[in-house]
Structure 1
Amino acid sequence: MPGPTFRLRGFDIHKTYLDEAAQADLVEALRPVLRQAPLFSPTTRFGKKMSVRMTSAGKYGWYSDARGYRYEPRHPDGQSWPPIPPQVLSVWHELTGLERAPDCCLINYYGEGARMGMHQDRDEADFTFPVLSLSLGDDGLFRIGNEERGGRTESFWLESGDAVIMGGAARLTHHGVDRIRFNSSRLLPKGGRINLTCRVVD
């Protein structure tokens, strides 16, 4: 059974939305995606290498380099992105209530010491569509800020199986992951956290 649901600054947090069996099934569904589109280490537009490794599935993949942040139709190696796993699409439709499928499922892997600075998801064409985030593996300390950079923030731990919907007034709120509790979960054999972020791009 899914855990409790609560709202924080417009973010809808569904605790343990995926049970242990569903989490393990999703990890298996991601393996062929990662084989076809291997994880890579992007750099920010300022030239700094991100501590998170990433790849994508769907029509587009999110990308970052000296040219800036954007969506690309192909992996850096040149191949098309693999399809979004049906397990992910099922959660998207259930929690968003939308018939339209996401164009991109960004896959971030947080190893020991990895983090994600405060940012907005604003590279999409239409901000009326929500963003879905799914957590797998180690706990991540998730920080929520404000639409404008700076000001008071609030943090809580995202655990394996948690789902978050960012929509409405919260769609452009700054957020990030300060750190993970490495090896706090046994889901991933080598430890770490996988975060899946689904977005409508066009």
Structure 2
Amino acid sequence: MMERNQVLYLAASWCLSYPDEELLARVPLMRSALAEHPGIGAAFEGVLALLSSASPMEVQASYVQEFDLGRRHALHLSYWTDGDTRRRGEVLGSFKQVYRQSDVLVDTHGELPDYLPMVLEYAALVDMAAGRDLLIRYRPSLEMLRFGLLHDKLPHARILQAICDTLPGKSPADEQAVMKMAGLGPPTESVGLDPYDPRLLPLKGT
């Protein structure tokens, strides 16, 4: 039987990934696994209900709209701390180095190595300690993503809260507290997209 955090991280990885047919078929499996660990299933119910109640096309279109077409719900952890600065390349290299240190070949499936579902899956199935260390290191990114999802009233916010609840310390009360937690402001040396600005969060639909 998988341990509680393994189940939580793997279910979170799947619920935050693109809902293709294979993932949609896993909804009953996720419900069954979560039911074995009372106390964590409620955080997933909104997303699981969404995945099982709408048509695959509707679910996929919604996912693309919320996670792929903008930066408000970016699932790449270093985006929130480093934006598209030159330093981000070094940060992505550090994620790859963590994966290389494991005895299992990690297939990134074409994603950047800081992609949250990948980090969660790595923690659940490959190396819990190393994966959890990445989540702790990028706790501010998790919290900023959580606030973005909360502002837009998406059920995925509860999953982010469940992930954060497995990490040391309490979640910050607001975005400014998250930036203080990170010990830095938005990155300034932009070479592509504009650096993240927390003031953009309340602007629904931008």
Q: TM-score, normalised by structure 1?
A: 0.28
As a proportion of its length, which structure holds more strand?
1
Q: Normalized per residue, which structure has more helix?
A: 2
